[in-house]
Amino acid sequence: MTDLPTTLPRHVAIIVDGNGRWAERRGLPRTEGHRAGIEALKRIAEESRRLGISVLSLYLFSTENWRRPASEVRFLMTLLRRHIRDNRDDLLKHNVRLLAIGDLSRLPAGLRREVARATELTRHCDGGTLVAALNYGSRAEIARAAQAIARKVQTGELAPGAVDEALIEAHLDTAGLPPPDLLIRTSGEKRLSNFLLWQASYAELYFTETLWPDFSPEEFTQALQEYARRKRRYGGLESVPRRPETERETEAR
C-alpha cells in the first residue's frame, strides 16, 4: 500500500477529464465512459474523506460542455441526478456537506431538485465539503460576482473604494471555502479550462496521462505525495508554511 504523505492539502480540486476517450479506446459508447467516471468519482471522494481532506472540488460539467451532442448531455444529466439522489444518505452518514457551484439555472429541473435537496439536507454537516461544479465557468462566475458588487455600489450599499480582493472572493460561488492547494487534471491535458481561475491562483498543479475512469486511490495518493514534496513560496524566497484555518474556513467545512 502507498505510504501516506506527510503534509495534506486542505482543498483538492480535480478537473475530471477523459471519460469519452476511455470508452472510445474500448470500443464502447461514450456514455459508458461517463458511467465508469461516476464510479471513479465515488472512489476518489471516499479516499479523500478517509484521508481527512477538508474540501474536494470536482469539475463535473462546464459551461462549454453544452456543445456536446444533445443525447450525451441528456444522459450525463440523468446520470448525475441519479448519483446525487442515490448518495445523499451516504453524505449524511459521513457528515459531508454538498455544495454545488456554477449557474444551476440552466440545469434540467430534475437535477436542480436533487441538488437542492442534497445541499439543504447536508448544509449543517461539518466533516468535510464536496463541491460539485455544474454548468460552471470561472469567467462567468467572476462576472456574476462583479455584477453583484456593482449593484451594491449603485444602490449606495458599497463605496467603490471598498471593492478589494476579499470582497470579490466573498461574492464568488466558493465564498467561505479555503482556496485550492492542489489542482489535479486527468487525461493528459495541461490546461485549466476555465476552472477556479481566481481561487487556484496559487494552487500546485498536477497533470496525469491517466483517464479519469482509471484514476485510482493509489494515484490520488501519489498526487498528494508530490504536493507534499513541493515548496510553496507564494512569490517569496522561502517556503511558506501552511497557514492555520480561519474561523470562517472552519465553519465552511
Q: Which residues are catalytic?
A: 17, 65
Q: Identify which of 167, 177, 117, 119 has the alpha carbon closest to the alpha carbon of residue 145.
A: 167
Which helix or strand (DSSP H or E) is residue 12 part of? Answer: strand 11-15
Instruction: Work out the angle between the directed axes of helices 217-229 and 30-51 (0-180°, nearest 10).
Output: 50
Query: What does the alpha-carbon distance between residue 178 and residue 237 come to, in Å, rounded to a whole number?
Result: 23
In whole angstroms, what is the distance from residue 50 CA to residue 53 CA? Answer: 8
CA–CA distance, 248 with 250 (Å, rounded to integer): 5
DSSP string, 32-84: HHHHHHHHHHHHHHHHHHHHT-SEEEEEEEEGGGGGS-HHHHHHHHHHHHHHH
Q: Which residues face 59 on adjacent strands?
A: 15, 133
How far is it, in rounded angstroms, from Cα 7 to Cα 228? 5
